[in-house]
């Protein structure tokens, strides 16, 4: 049986650049999506206030609150997923864990030059 952390089968170390791109996309999404949700909620609330109708203001306020909650949840989903997968990665052999650590490091810290170093370190 081939050790998953070896050069012949080190998927994460072989694809470290792809995982960096995935990490950048997730970083941008977790910042941009919550900001857009809050801006859209504020625009809806502004329209309702300008219309000066109590029912529309209540509806827009509720919508803004739901969008703000959604924004917070979207912001913390990558952190929650990282924690869950961190717990899961503790099960298994050390070669697979080292390879997984390369993927996780490149996704969570895509701008870190150590991502490429992590891939090189997995081969040692």
Chain-centroid distance, C-alpha 57: 33
Structural domain spans, the chain: 11-119
Share of the chain above pLDDT 70, in %: 79
The per-residue pLDDT for range 37-46, each reduced to its tens digit, is 888 888 888 8
Say if residues 15 and 100 touch (Cβ distance below 8 Å): no
The per-residue pLDDT for range 58-98, each reduced to its tens digit, is 888 888 888 889 888 888 887 887 787 777 766 666 667 77
pLDDT of residue 7 exceeding 60: no
Residue with tokens 């650590």: 101
């Amino acid at each position: 049986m081939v050790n998953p952390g070896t050069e012949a089968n080190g998927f994460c170390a072989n694809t470290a650049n792809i995982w960096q791109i995935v990490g950048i996309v997730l970083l941008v999404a977790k910042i941009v999506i919550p900001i857009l949700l809050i801006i859209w909620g504020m625009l809806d609330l502004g329209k309702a206030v300008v219309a000066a109708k109590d029912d529309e203001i209540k509806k827009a306020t509720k919508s803004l609150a739901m969008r703000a909650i959604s924004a917070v949840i979207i912001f913390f989903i990558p952190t929650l997923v990282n924690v869950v997968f961190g717990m899961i990665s503790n099960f298994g052999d050390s070669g697979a864990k080292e390879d997984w650590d390369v993927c996780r490091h490149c996704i969570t810290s895509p701008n870190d030059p150590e991502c490429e170093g992590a891939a090189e370190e997995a081969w040692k």
